[in-house]
Structure 1
Amino acid sequence: MNNNKYIFIGFTINSSSLSDFFVGLTKRLSEDYRVIVFTNKKPKIDPDFSDQVNTVFWPSKRPTGFKDAKFLYSQIKKYQPVMTISLFGSVNLMTLVGWFTKVPLRISWIRTLSSQYHNKKWLMERKKLIYKLATHIFVNSEATNRDVQDVYKISSSKVKVLPNSIKPYANTIEKNKTSVKEISYAGRLHASKGIDTLLKAFKDCLIIDKTLRLNIIGDGEEKSKLINLVGQLNLNDSVVFHGFQSKNNVLEIFKNSYMVVVPSITEAFGFVTIEAMSVKTAVIGSKTSGIAEIIRNEQDGLLFEPQNDADLFQQMRRLLLDESLTIELAERGYQRFMSTYEHQNAIERDFNVLDQYIKNIE
């Protein structure tokens, strides 16, 4: 136990799979180090940290202002951490202040492709500067790795690929019996997610089985456009918009679905893909970036060309007409998940990487 060594980590504590992972990583780190978690509000769930972990709260809802920088500066001066780990909203501040105060190890965890910011050039330029101040960049896929090097001009020697992971849920969620085959999508309702392609393919699927139902889970800026498209395609009786749902509700819907479709145009990784695999549900994903790294076509899922509703329909048709193939792909997908993306294995993997970085500077 390195009681005199502190690690700072910034993330939001909630009921998401991402939070589950970082809570687990924090617990593993706290077996060997003191850890201070920076989060933006008092969590509704109890992470059950040991007394080796302190939880502190940013002064602002999102840590981007002077008050937050001053708070972080005071905490660094007090505890002298050997490492900061930041993701999403905490990256800019923790990396910048960590660099200014000479924290030896500054980890920036990137989980989003730059295409999400293509209309915000100033934001990408700022990120490029911030990432140069990090000592190490962690990314969740080879697609994100290429993006970081090509767009932000980060040296490959500075980048490490550590895929996302989640807990296995296959045996903890009951499957409800229903006569209706359900197809599900979960994620942001954003143009980059390709939901319009799914709706068009789904319309053709109704020729095979008019009782099919499509679940669309999530919220976003494209919701009104998608609702209008559902009306134009005469799908009002077959498509259900569920809005935002808790992780457990999403997994329950997935467990009771015949298949899950991930139709993204671009995707850094594709959490939804491994969530579906974790509950033994067959997955069809677009042949793009991070998704194609997870799904090995014809082995543990099916792939289709992005934005090609005819190609997607053909893959959906195959599963609808061949239940044995659907079951086989679901089982293989679960095996793929357990061998590569299971929560506890990933926590130990990432701990070993971080632990070695600290040992290298001793």
Structure 2
Amino acid sequence: MRILMASDLYHPFLLGGGEKRMYEIARRLAKKHEIHVITRRFKGLPSYEIHEKVHIHRVFIPSAEIKLESPSDGSAFMAGALLKGLNLGDFDLYAPQQFFPIPPLWLIAKAKRRPLVATIHDIYRETWLQKYGLKGCLMTAFERVMLKLPYAKIITVSSSSKEKLIESGVPEHRIEVIPNGVDVEKYDKIKVEKSEKPRVIYVGRLIGYKHVDDLLVAFSRLDLNAELYIVGEGPERKNLETVAKKLGVDHKVTFTGFINEQRKIELLKSSHVLVLPSTTEGFGIVVLEAMAARVPVIAADIPALRELVKNGENGLLFKPRAIDDLKIKLRLLLKDEDLRDKFSKSGYDLVKKRFTWDSVVERNEEVYKSLVADH
């Protein structure tokens, strides 16, 4: 098959679960199929390259920084992706992921009369309004329009995201749930000792609905000589650095910014607990990554994370935005080595059994092949 994919970010910027998923699927499919990916171009990157047999086409955007929610950057990307996609010839199937990459590939797929399969990780609805005000109204309207398009199939990553799609009017028969995965073998090959001090780690985008500020406050209330690593980049970074300073824990907190995959795995494996305080998640791929690194997880008790973290079995859940509850569970896990060992083993066994990238790619390929055959 000849497949055209599109994503706001792609190699080398694998900042979140969406980018990681497309990267892993594209490079594995490229072993048997011709895969092209359209993405944003940032300073220092070529407009075209082949990486792991994947053809990467980068289009111009105005901003030098990564601003995924910027309407101007999104509009520039959509226009550039449309022109680029039209110039690349015919494809058997078009596979964008939410949301700005969808309109250009939908237009091309419609013109070429080929199937469109979109990967939609989550629906944000009121989150846009709460966070961005007027701009949030535009994003909410844009999201609603995207959900009305006549997809051949929508792939989503969890049962909770599927329910949101159905509530938003997407016919159930058009939705396929295929979870994210993790490369367990890669994690097993990297050997790292645990840090001497109890280390808490957060990995992900620094954006409002992730509520990293809640983690900072809970961490500041611990009566332990611990350290906190915040791994990732995003618009909330400066604010979070200010919060850490005001709380008097800036000397215990390390903001790493964007780091490569090797370094991320090393930091995960050296940590004692991963915390994910998000109130909005389509899946929460970092939970799988922590489990593959044999690191116990404390996560907010929301539907998508509840599908992965079974409270008291392979991790702990806390009431979203309840800082004292988070603090209590952080202290419990940092103090109890036996409990950490129990959760580490249970989590590792879970990902090795159910969440490998090879199984994810196999299921995606089955969907793609069936749709191409039907056309």
- TM-score > 0.5, shorter chain as reference: yes
Equivalent residue for 1:14? 12
Counterparts of 1:174-193 in structure 2, within 5 Å, are 174-193=191-210
1:173 corresponds to: 190
Contact kept, 8 Å, 1:20 with 1:166, in 2: the verdict is no
In structure 2, C-alpha distance between the alignment counterparts of 1:261 and 1:101, rounded to whole Å: 45
Of 77, 83, 104, which aligns to 1:70? 83
Contact 1:285 1:302 in 2 (8 A): yes
SS in 2 for 1:133: coil
* Deviation sequence 1:282-307 (CA, Å, 0-9, x none): 11101013211111111111111100
Distance 1:352 1:291, change over 3 A: same
* 2:177 aligned to which of 158, 161, 164: 161
Match of 2:51, SS?
coil
- The separation in 1 between residues aligned to 2:339 and 2:145, in whole angstroms, is 48
Moved more, 237-246 or 291-300: 237-246
CA shift at 1:43, angstroms? Answer: 8.5
The one-letter amino acid of 2:12's match is N
Partner SS state of residue 97, structure 1? helix
| CA–CA separation in structure 1 for the residues paired with 2:153 and 2:32 | 21
Question: Paired residue for 2:103, among 81, 88, 92?
Answer: 92
Aligned position for 2:243: 229
Q: Distance in 2 between matches of 1:251 and 1:43?
A: 29
Give the whole-Å Cα distance in 2 for the aligned partners of 1:295 and 1:43.
40
Partner of 1:297: 311
CA distance in 2, matches of 1:44, 1:193: 33
Instruction: Name the SS of the counterpart of 1:294 in structure 2.
Output: coil
Q: In 2 relative to 1, CA 241–59 (structure 1 residues): closer, same or farther, beyond 3 Å?
A: closer
Deviation at 1:83, TM superposition (A): 1.1
- Structure 1 pair 217–23 and aligned structure 2 pair: CA distance change class (3 A): closer
Gaps of 5+ in 2: 62-73
Segment drifting more, 121-130 vs 242-251 = 121-130
1:304-315 matched pairs, under 5 angstroms: 304-315=318-329
Distance in 1, matches of 2:83 and 2:273, equals 49
- Equivalent residue number for residue 272 of structure 1: 286
Q: Aligned letter for 1:92?
A: P
8 Å CA contact retained: 1:7, 1:36: yes
Mapped contact 2:79–2:104 kept (Cα < 8 A): no
3-state SS of 1:269 partner = coil
Identity %: 21
Q: TM-score, normalised by structure 2?
A: 0.83
- Give the Cα separation in 2 of the matches to 1:122 and 1:258: 41
| Distance in 2 between residues matched to 1:34 and 1:224, nearest whole Å | 41
Q: Among residues 140, 164, 169, which one is paired with 1:124 in the alignment?
A: 140
Task: From 135, 139, 156, give the equivalent of 2:152.
Answer: 135
Deviation at 1:117, TM superposition (A): 2.7
Contact kept in structure 2, 1:13 and 1:39, CA below 8 Å: no
Q: 1:48 aligns with which of 46, 52, 67?
A: 52
Residue correspondences, number: 345
Amino acid at match of 1:182: R
Q: State the superposition RMSD in angstroms.
A: 2.6
Which region of structure 1 is more displaced relative to structure 2, 164-173 or 33-42?
Answer: 33-42
- Would you say the 8 A contact 2:118–2:154 is kept in 1? yes
1:145 maps to which of 138, 145, 162: 162
Of 330-339 and 237-246, deviating more is 237-246
Deviating more after overlay: 188-197 vs 249-258: 188-197
Does residue 106 in structure 1 map to residue 116 in structure 2? yes
Matching of residue 196 in structure 1 with residue 203 in structure 2: no
Please tell me whether the aligned partners of residues 36 and 57 of structure 2 are also in contact (alpha carbons under 8 angstroms).
Answer: no
Give 1:360 shift: 3.4
In terms of mean alpha carbon deviation, does 278-287 or 20-29 score higher? 20-29
Tell me if the contact between 1:87 and 1:109 (Cα under 8 Å) persists in the aligned partners: yes
Distance verdict in 2 for CA 1:254–1:233, change over 3 Å: same
Residues 78, 103 of structure 2: 8 Å contact kept: no
Report how far residue 167 of structure 1 moved: 1.1
Relative to structure 1, the CA distance from residue 229 to residue 70 in structure 2 (aligned partners, 3 Å threshold; closer, same or farther) is: closer
Q: Distance in 1 between matches of 2:358 and 2:3?
A: 20
CA distance in 2, matches of 1:230, 1:56: 39
**Is the Cα contact below 8 Å between 1:112 and 1:268 reproduced in 2?**
yes
Query: How far apart, in 1, do the equivalents of 2:288 and 2:164 lie?
Result: 21
Q: 1:15 Cα shift?
A: 6.2
> Alignment partner of 1:160: what SS?
strand
**Deviation for aligned residue 1:264:** 0.8
The answer for the alignment partner of 2:265 in structure 1 is 251
Counterpart of 1:285 (choices 299, 324, 342) is 299
Pair 1:345 & 2:356 matched = no
The superposition leaves residues 122-165 of structure 1 with CA deviations (integer Å, 9 ceiling, x where unpaired) of 333233333313221111112222222323x2111211111111
Q: Give the match's secondary structure for 1:277.
A: helix
Report Cα offsets for 1:178-234 as digits up to 9, x if no partner.
4211111112222211212212221232x1x2x210111222222233223223322
Q: Which piece of structure 1 moves more, 245-254 or 14-23?
A: 14-23
Q: Deviations 1:75-132 (Å, cap 9, x if unpaired)?
A: 3xx42x23111114422211222123322x1011112431453342233323333331
